[in-house]
């Protein structure tokens, strides 16, 4: 026991002294910025504001959001409760409309993009319909698209395979753990074969072990499918670990405080979380918040 | 349930890790004498610093030659991947089996014992002494059963009449109630007013409603039997409508968070939204309404028979026989009425169990 403590102290010292060197070491190996890519499934928000009437007064929730998301980019919106990150995502998804400003999704309005089912959405809870089996849940959007039955089955099976739940196809949601349910939710979003994946705090209700597993799953899926992912979270480490860029938002009114490019090399693995560079990025994100 | 399972699974994982650590500590205790470990310690604090926070790595360094760790490592993914429900459920069942069994059985055994006690008291005449009544007013169960057997044909005909009134009233009432709920969901502004109105009907006592409706329907048909049936069905319809409308409205509108957003994200119209989401979501609520509706329909049909013109139906027979002081026959019909209610309710519960077997 005593031995362990002593060892911890020593390594902590080594980590502290190595911070600067680590940062320098990793900086050059960061990925090239994807600016030269096409914006086919890129998302651009310009001057987007949203306010709600409260007791006859218009309370601004989002103020002048400008953000360009590149095709194939993994971007996180991170911030405390009430900073408007979910509102921003819902505006992109056309679940609410902005009070002013314009949103373009690959040149289309959010409404057009929604009706063409260009994005898949994953919510805070898995939102599985508990009267449907797992595979039937994944098939739900495909039924609505009126695809041929055989194709529905094939696609749903492939997606379940991708999230590692092939053996659970005929189970009911009530028989799965929270993490498995959320993976079904992701499979259902992917079943549409969308260009864009919108994720609203998808892992916030999960325990740490499951969450870390799903991080790896998600990164793998992203690498395989090259989707544009907009990921909303209040977990800074999660945002840094997963993203190409982290968009830091602050509340009252909701606004973008900083956009930080994460230079950690890809593909990422859990070891990266222990590096000093990682901690430095986490601290950078944390210090970017304005007010509370 | 899920949370508990997850905890127990990860606890199991930790335990395995802990067991595997035993040799680690043993090894550490003798570390000063072991040159290899010492050498490694001195060698590279830098590489250690990088992996310090990553638990498996130091353990691996220290113990790369030891087989127990290899056994422990696969346990780690298991900790983050919860085992399937059946496994966890089986473990829980083992733990709780005896008490669980008794909890389930006792809900059945206690009422049964109580029933047997009443039967014994009743048949032996002790109940009559306790209540200060006699054999004529309250015949023994054996006599009631004998009367039921002797008059089975006539009783059955009356059961059919009452069931016709009760079940068709239940059907029309439920349909109208569901329609009200649908309108209230679709047009919230004035639909909810309709919902309140329907609920207000529920406040009118059946005893007040039945004679009024019998009076209203006296010109419906020249046949007394038809007139009576219409009146009875109307009473049951009105009574059954309220519980269905209120419950179905909840089922159509109280959706899980984000489930409506999910539908919108698919760009689905109201029709799809209703068929794929609201209607299936409503099913358990329909059963709640029916659990109220089924017994109520039988009772209200029998009360309506009290006031109906035509002398038929189980309820009417109870009344007629009491009026004629034929108490044993009246008791046979009372027993029949109880059986009708119980059987219908049992059928409903069985259907519900099958229909909702996959829902939590």
- The CATH number that applies at residue A266 is 3.40.50.300
How far does Cα A62 stand from its chain's mean position?
A: 19
Nearest CA in chain A to B4: A177
For residue range B316-360, list pLDDT tens digits in order: 999 999 999 889 999 999 999 999 999 999 999 999 999 888 876
**pLDDT at B18 exceeding the cut of 60:** no
In a domain, A32, yes or no: no
Whether residue A253 is preceded by a cis peptide bond, meaning omega within 30 degrees of 0, is yes
For residue range B145-156, list pLDDT tens digits in order: 999 999 999 999
CB–CB of A117 and B280 under 8 A?
no
Residues B199 and B348 in one domain: yes
Of B6, B49, B80, the CB nearest to A15: B49
CB–CB of B276 and A274 under 8 A?
no
| Nearest chain B Cα distance for residue A65, angstroms | 22
Q: What is the Cβ-side half-sphere exposure of residue B79, based on CA atoms within 13 angstroms?
A: 18
Domain of B98, in residue numbers: 85-131
**Overall average pLDDT of the A2-26 stretch:** 40
Interface with chain B: mutation pick from A4, A116, A135, A175, highest number of B CBs within 10 Å: A175
CB–CB of B359 and A174 under 8 A?
yes
In a domain, A3, yes or no: no
The pair of structure tokens assigned to B42 is 């001195």
CB–CB of B261 and A273 under 8 A?
no
In a domain, B193, yes or no: yes
In a domain, B341, yes or no: yes
In a domain, A227, yes or no: yes
In a domain, B136, yes or no: no
Q: What is the pLDDT of residue B66?
A: 42
Distance CA B269, CA B263 (A): 8
Closest CA to A232 of A72, A47, A87: A87
Distance CA B234, CA B166 (A): 10
Query: Could you tell me if A134 and A172 are in contact, meaning their C-beta atoms sit under 8 angstroms apart?
Result: yes
Apex A236 CA angle, A186 and A92, nearest 5: 50
Distance CA B357, CA B360 (A): 8
Residues B102 and B205 in one domain: no
Query: Could you tell me if A41 and A105 are in contact, meaning their C-beta atoms sit under 8 angstroms apart?
Result: yes
Count CB neighbours of A52 within 10 A.
12
CB–CB of B6 and A207 under 8 A?
yes
Distance CA A124, CA A69 (A): 22
Sign of torsion, CA A114 A117 A120 A125?
positive
CB–CB of A210 and B256 under 8 A?
no
The side-by-side arrangement of strands in the sheet containing A196-200 is A119-122, A196-200, A228-233, A74-78, A245-250, A255-261
CB–CB of B261 and A172 under 8 A?
no
CB–CB of B261 and A95 under 8 A?
yes
**pLDDT at B46 exceeding the cut of 60:** no
The pair of structure tokens assigned to B311 is 């002398």
Residues B121 and B146 in one domain: no
The beta-carbon contacts of B335-343 under 8 Å, at least 24 apart in sequence, are B335/B144, B335/B145, B335/B148, B336/B148, B336/B155, B336/B158, B336/B159, B337/B162, B337/B298, B337/B302, B340/B159, B340/B162, B340/B163, B340/B298, B340/B314, B341/B294, B341/B295, B341/B298, B341/B299
Residues B197 and B67 in one domain: no
In a domain, A158, yes or no: no
**Mean model confidence pLDDT for chain A:** 80
Closest CA to B294 of B341, B233, B241, B234: B341
| Nearest chain B Cα distance for residue A22, angstroms | 10
Count CB neighbours of B203 within 10 A.
7
Closest CA to A205 of A178, A239, A165, A230: A178
Distance CA B77, CA B16 (A): 12
Closest CA to A200 of A124, A267, A147, A125: A124
Q: What is the pLDDT of residue A291?
A: 65
DSSP structural state of residue A119? E
CB–CB of A114 and B48 under 8 A?
no
CB–CB of A270 and B80 under 8 A?
no
Interface with chain B: mutation pick from A13, A94, A129, highest number of B CBs within 10 Å: A129
Distance CA B116, CA B108 (A): 13
For residue range A165-205, list pLDDT tens digits in order: 888 988 999 888 888 898 899 889 888 888 889 999 888 88
Query: Could you tell me if A195 and A118 are in contact, meaning their C-beta atoms sit under 8 angstroms apart?
Result: yes
Any A CB within 8 A of B97 CB: no
Q: What is the pLDDT of residue B245?
A: 92
CB–CB of B54 and A274 under 8 A?
yes
CB–CB of B259 and A127 under 8 A?
yes
DSSP structural state of residue A15? H
**Overall average pLDDT of the B6-27 stretch:** 42
Q: What is the DSSP string of B54-102?
A: STHHHHHHHHTT-HHHHHHTTHHHHHHSPPPHHHHHHHHHHHHHHHHHH
Using a CB-CB distance cutoff of 8 angstroms, which residues of chain B are in contact with residue A172? 358-359
Instruction: Give the three-class secondary structure for B263.
Output: helix
Instruction: Give the three-class secondary structure for A131.
Output: coil
Closest CA to A198 of A88, A103, A96, A99: A88
Distance CA A56, CA A70 (A): 38
% of residues, chain A, pLDDT over 70? 86
Closest CA to A185 of A203, A170, A209: A203
Residues B198 and B341 in one domain: yes
CB–CB of B52 and A274 under 8 A?
yes
| Nearest chain B Cα distance for residue A172, angstroms | 7
Domain of A97, in residue numbers: 42-118+194-287
Residues B55 and B102 in one domain: no
- The CATH number that applies at residue B303 is 1.10.3720.10
In a domain, B72, yes or no: yes
Residues B232 and B346 in one domain: yes
Distance CA B359, CA B338 (A): 31
Of A42-56, B152-166, B170-184, B244-258, the least confident: A42-56
Using a CB-CB distance cutoff of 8 angstroms, which residues of chain A are in contact with residue B59? none
Using a CB-CB distance cutoff of 8 angstroms, which residues of chain B are in contact with residue A127? 256-259, 261-262
The predicted complex's ipTM stands at: 0.77
Residues B124 and B14 in one domain: no
b or e along B310-345 (b: 16 or more beta carbons within 10 Å of the residue's beta carbon)? bebbbbbbbbbbeeeeebbbbbbbbbbbeebbeebe
Using a CB-CB distance cutoff of 8 angstroms, which residues of chain B are in contact with residue A14? 45-46, 48-49, 52
In a domain, A228, yes or no: yes
Q: What is the pLDDT of residue A138?
A: 92
In a domain, A107, yes or no: yes
| Nearest chain B Cα distance for residue A155, angstroms | 17
Using a CB-CB distance cutoff of 8 angstroms, which residues of chain B are in contact with residue A108? none
Q: What is the pLDDT of residue A63?
A: 86
Query: Could you tell me if B224 and B310 are in contact, meaning their C-beta atoms sit under 8 angstroms apart?
Result: yes
Q: What is the Cβ-side half-sphere exposure of residue B290, based on CA atoms within 13 angstroms?
A: 19
Residues B174 and B293 in one domain: yes
In a domain, B192, yes or no: yes
pLDDT grade for A262, boundaries at 50, 70 and 90: confident
Of A121, A174, A176, the CB nearest to B265: A121
Any A CB within 8 A of B272 CB: yes
Using a CB-CB distance cutoff of 8 angstroms, which residues of chain A are in contact with residue B16? none
A-B Cβ pairs (cutoff 8 Å, strict): 127
In a domain, B105, yes or no: yes
Any A CB within 8 A of B276 CB: yes
| Nearest chain A Cα distance for residue B347, angstroms | 22
Any A CB within 8 A of B270 CB: no
Domains contained in chain A, number: 1
The pair of structure tokens assigned to B218 is 């006296």
Which B residues in the span 50-69 are in contact with A, Cβ-Cβ below 8 Å? Answer: 50-54, 57
Instruction: Give the three-class secondary structure for A204.
Output: coil
**pLDDT at B34 exceeding the cut of 50:** no
pLDDT grade for A290, boundaries at 50, 70 and 90: confident
Residues B163 and B124 in one domain: no
- Give the Å distances, CA to CA, from A134 to A101, A130, A150, A185, B358: 39, 9, 17, 9, 12
Of B83-97, B127-141, B148-162, the least confident: B83-97
How far does Cα A206 stand from its chain's mean position?
A: 15
**Overall average pLDDT of the B269-281 stretch:** 91
Query: Could you tell me if B301 and B169 are in contact, meaning their C-beta atoms sit under 8 angstroms apart?
Result: yes
**pLDDT at A52 exceeding the cut of 50:** yes
The pair of structure tokens assigned to A1 is 């026991």
Domains contained in chain B, number: 3
Using a CB-CB distance cutoff of 8 angstroms, which residues of chain A are in contact with residue B3? 178
Q: What is the pLDDT of residue B97?
A: 58
Distance CA A283, CA A275 (A): 13
Nearest CA in chain A to B27: A3
For residue range A65-110, list pLDDT tens digits in order: 888 888 888 999 998 888 888 889 999 988 888 888 888 888 888 8
Which B residues in the span 67-96 are in contact with A, Cβ-Cβ below 8 Å? Answer: 77, 79-82, 84-85
CB–CB of B358 and A174 under 8 A?
yes
């Amino acid at each position: 026991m005593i031995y362990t403590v002593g060892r911890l102290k020593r390594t902590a010292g080594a980590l502290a002294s190595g911070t600067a060197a680590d940062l320098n070491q990793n900086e050059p190996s960061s990925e090239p910025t994807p600016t030269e890519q096409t914006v086919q499934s890129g998302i651009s928000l310009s001057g987007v504001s949203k306010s709600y009437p409260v007791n006859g007064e218009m309370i601004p929730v989002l103020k002048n959001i400008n953000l360009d998301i590149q095709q194939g980019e993994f971007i996180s919106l991170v911030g405390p409760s009430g900073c408007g990150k979910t509102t921003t995502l819902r505006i992109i998804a056309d679940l609410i409309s902005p009070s002013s400003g314009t949103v373009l999704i690959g040149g289309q309005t959010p409404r057009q993009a929604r009706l063409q089912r260009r994005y898949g959405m994953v919510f805070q809870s898995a939102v599985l319909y508990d009267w449907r089996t797992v595979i039937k849940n994944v098939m739900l959007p495909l039924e609505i698209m009126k695809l041929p039955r055989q194709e529905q089955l094939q696609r749903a099976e492939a997606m379940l395979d991708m999230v590692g739940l092939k053996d659970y196809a005929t189970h009911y949601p009530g028989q799965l753990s929270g993490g498995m349910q959320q993976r079904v939710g992701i499979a259902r979003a992917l079943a549409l074969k969308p260009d864009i994946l919108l994720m609203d705090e998808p892992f916030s209700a999960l325990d740490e072990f499951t969450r870390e597993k799903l991080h790896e799953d998600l990164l793998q899926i992203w690498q395989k499918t090259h989707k544009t992912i907009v990921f909303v979270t209040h977990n800074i480490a999660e945002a840094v670990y997963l993203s190409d860029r982290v968009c830091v938002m602050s509340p009252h009114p909701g606004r973008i405080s900083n956009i930080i490019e994460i230079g950690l090399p890809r593909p990422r693995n859990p070891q990266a979380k222990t590096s000093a560079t990682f901690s430095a990025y986490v601290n950078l994100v944390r210090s970017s918040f304005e007010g509370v | 349930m899920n949370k508990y399972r997850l905890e127990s699974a990860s606890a199991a994982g930790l335990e395995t890790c802990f067991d595997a650590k035993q040799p680690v500590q043993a090894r550490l205790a003798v570390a000063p004498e072991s040159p290899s470990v010492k050498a490694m310690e001195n060698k590279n604090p830098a590489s250690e610093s990088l992996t310090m926070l990553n638990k498996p790595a130091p353990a691996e360094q220290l113990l790369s030659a030891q087989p127990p760790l290899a056994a422990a490592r696969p346990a780690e993914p298991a900790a983050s991947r919860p085992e399937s429900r059946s496994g966890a459920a089986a473990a829980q069942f083992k733990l709780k089996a005896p008490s669980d069994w008794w909890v389930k059985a006792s809900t059945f055994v206690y009422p049964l014992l109580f029933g047997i006690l009443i039967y014994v008291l009743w048949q032996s005449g002790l109940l009559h002494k306790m209540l200060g009544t006699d054999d004529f007013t309250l015949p023994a169960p054996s006599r009631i059963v004998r009367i039921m057997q002797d008059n089975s044909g006539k009783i059955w005909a009356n059961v059919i009449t009452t069931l016709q009134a009760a079940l068709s009233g239940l059907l029309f009432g439920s349909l109208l109630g569901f329609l009200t709920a649908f309108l209230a969901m679709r047009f919230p502004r004035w639909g909810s007013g309709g919902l309140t109105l329907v609920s207000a009907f529920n406040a009118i006592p059946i005893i007040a409603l039945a004679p009024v409706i019998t009076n209203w329907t006296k010109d419906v048909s020249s046949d007394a039997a038809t007139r009576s049936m219409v009146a009875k069905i109307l009473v049951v319809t009105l009574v059954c409508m309220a519980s269905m409308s209120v419950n179905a409205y909840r089922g159509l509108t109280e959706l899980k968070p984000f489930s409506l957003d999910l539908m919108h994200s698919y760009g689905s119209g109201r029709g799809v939204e209703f068929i794929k989401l609201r209607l299936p979501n409503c099913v358990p609520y329909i059963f709640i309404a029916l659990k109220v509706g089924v017994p109520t329909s039988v009772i209200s049909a029998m009360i309506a028979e009290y006031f109906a013109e035509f002398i038929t139906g189980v309820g009417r027979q109870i009344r007629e026989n009491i009026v004629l002081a034929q108490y044993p026959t009246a008791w046979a019909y009372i027993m029949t009425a109880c059986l009708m209610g119980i059987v219908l309710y049992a059928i409903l519960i069985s259907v519900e169990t099958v229909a909702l077997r996959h829902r939590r």
